[in-house]
Amino acid sequence: MFGSSPEVERERLKFSDNLAQGELFKPWKPIKHPQFGDMEIGGWVKMSSRLPHPFMLQDLVHRNAAAVIFTAQYTPKVIMDVFEVKKIEGNLWRVRVRLVNEGVMPSVSHATMKNKLYPPDILSVTGNGAKVVSGGVLTDPYMDLVDYKEYKPEVQMCQVPGSGKIEYQFLVSGKGDVEIKFESRKAGRISKVVALK
């Protein structure tokens, strides 16, 4: 290895001789190369410094599997709650949706959003007899403050934070059933049908 001290090389040779039956280091020997003539080959075998010896692979695989299982416990688990369907006047309805992430990881990471690695999560509202007039992030439900989206309010791009929640408000005109759908590459898909009545 480049930059190794003689002490480190001696320890590696002891490991090869005593635990790996000498398989990690091959003695130097002369050969005749057809193009370059007299040469010597030998030394540390390929991958001897990158992978553990076969008898140690079981331990490596066990540690890796434990790390993957541990990480999987913290992946995003998003739950959708339609916590309010209220008639405002005529055929105009206020629909409020809460997305709660029970996992520690966000549904979309900040790096993914910043570098646009793949599409963000989508929250959408559709219905045959209904049209979304306005929609956006519900910033304060008590003061009725909403950060409305100007174009295509029926489709909201979102990110559910880890161990957190976000709330949306939609103003829907019409009657009948509307489908509220959450789609995420990491957190899966959720769909709920709500009756405007």
Domain boundary among 49, 72, 95: 72
Q: Is 68 helix (H, G, I), strand (E, B) or coil?
A: helix
Give yes or no: residues 108 and 172 share one domain: yes
Distance CA 115, CA 186 (A): 16
* pLDDT, tens digit (0-9, with 9 covering 90-100), for 84-126: 999 999 899 999 999 999 999 999 988 988 898 988 999 999 9
DSSP class of residue 129? Answer: T
**Do 36 and 103 have their domain in common?**
no
- Do 109 and 156 sit in the same domain of this protein? yes
- Dihedral angle sign, alpha carbons of residues 190, 146, 165, 159: positive
**Do 118 and 142 fall into the same domain?**
yes
Same domain assignment for residues 35 and 87: no
> Which of 47, 72, 97 is the last residue before a domain boundary?
72
- Digit-by-digit pLDDT tens for the chain (197 residues) are 455 788 888 888 898 888 888 888 889 999 999 999 999 999 888 877 777 777 788 888 999 999 999 999 999 999 999 999 999 998 999 999 999 999 999 999 889 888 989 889 999 999 998 999 999 999 998 898 999 999 999 999 999 999 999 999 999 999 999 999 999 999 999 999 999 98
Cα→Cα distances 182→22, 26, 78, 170, Å: 58, 59, 9, 14
Q: Are residues 68 and 82 in the same domain?
A: no
Query: What CATH number should be reported for the domain holding residue 125?
Result: 2.60.40.10
The overall pTM is greater than 0.75: no
Looking at 72, 104, 122, which one is the last position of a domain? 72
Check whether residue 39 and residue 120 sit in a common domain: no
1 within some domain: no
Counting the structural domains of the chain, the total is 2
- Whether 149 and 187 share a structural domain: yes
Same domain for 68 and 119, yes or no, is no
Write the Ramachandran bin of 144: left for phi over 0, alpha for psi from -120 to 50, otherwise beta: left
Range of the domain at 22: 6-72
Burial class (CB in 10 A: 0-12, 13-18, 19+), 179: middle
State the pairing for strand pair 78-89/37-44. Answer: unpaired
